[in-house]
Amino acid sequence: MRMESDTFDALDLQLLSALEIDGRASFSRIAAVLDVSDQTVARRYRRLCAEGGLRVVAIRDAHRLGHDQWMLRVRCTPDSAVAIGDALAKRPDTNWVGLTSGGTEVLCLTRPRSQGDHDDLLLGKLPRTPSVLEIRAHQVLHRFYGGVHGWVRKFGVLTADQIAALRPRTAPVPGPARIGPEDEPLLAVLERDGRAGHPELQRATGRSESAVKRRLTSLIASGAVYIDVEFDNELLGFPVAAMLWITAAPAALHSVGEALAGHDRIAHASATAGTSNIVASALARSTADLYAYLSGPLGHLDGVQHVEVTPFLRRVKQLTYPRPVR
């Protein structure tokens, strides 16, 4: 893909791609791989944070942890969408909230940590909200793309050698991924700032610096946690975003999902239960570009029976915290 932006250049894109591979990589290591100075990387990073909405945070991988995920479609009266979205963004069991359909629908990705969280949201608070007209819940069954696989890598700005040099040097941890109560102070810091230094993590946890390093390395190597990046897509020349609710023939469900994972315009795709069986998020340069994708690569996939498109109005919460007003 080509980046179309007057503000950011190819080096910024390389830096974003490097952070997707290892969000905790030191500026010196990134600089060596990109063949620039440490000061250049640090300066570009600070500018991306200030002007491009860049945040690096730790994410609990529900897929690897075996936790349920639900995508909720909350249809509501237009005058209440913002308030409902803000209320959902404040909940600790949500990690993505957006407004779509001209402000008449709130989308929410929730990861309940207990059955009580799930029941409280789906059977308690939301149904009792007078301005909520309808709730559709789609359980996430399988991830085709997203999570540890970031969208920026689809630009192909790093060579295979650069990618290999940036990958964290950790051996896989045998056994199932696990997060224990003792990990919560550590994750509380990393979910705010995935690049927090070891001294800060030591102060938050009361552990020695070496113990903090070992546990963080183990959490990442096991797949329980990964370091993700958030940024403003419009600054890369992709201001248009939409959620795609796709119905595929059951026999074609996996092949359609795998094909979507390879499409440049797709930032995330999962199989779900519900009225559709695949949900995907698409990014485009313009509404014409979105139409070209829908009528071209997506429309030509064998097995696709129906597609509903809900354009984003704005994101209320992404990753772990509500988005700041910019």
Q: Is residue 192 part of a domain?
A: no
Distance CA 112, CA 43 (A): 38
* pLDDT tens, the chain, 326 aa long: 655 555 689 999 999 999 999 999 999 999 999 999 999 999 999 999 999 999 999 999 988 888 888 999 999 998 899 999 998 888 888 888 999 988 889 999 987 666 566 666 766 677 788 898 998 999 999 999 998 899 999 999 999 999 999 998 776 667 778 899 999 999 999 999 999 999 999 999 999 999 999 999 999 999 899 999 999 998 889 999 999 999 999 999 999 999 999 999 999 999 999 889 999 999 999 999 999 999 999 999 999 999 999 999 888 887 655 444 44
Q: Is residue 283 part of a domain?
A: yes
- Does the predicted TM-score (pTM) go above 0.95? no
Q: For residue 245, list its beta bridge partners.
A: 279, 308
Q: Is residue 138 part of a domain?
A: no
| Residue 61 DSSP label | -
- Is 259 within the bounds of a domain? yes
Contact between 293 and 73 under an 8 Å Cβ cutoff? The reply is: no
How many folded domains does the chain comprise? 1
Residue 267 lies in a domain: yes
- Distance between CA atoms of residues 62 and 140, nearest Å: 10
User: What range does the domain containing 242 cover?
Assistant: 238-312
Q: Is the residue at 286 inside a domain?
A: yes
Rounded to the nearest 10 degrees, the angle between the axes of helix 10-21 and helix 38-52 is 90
Instruction: Look up the CATH number of the domain holding residue 263.
Output: 3.30.70.920
Is 277 a domain residue?
yes
Is 287 a domain residue?
yes
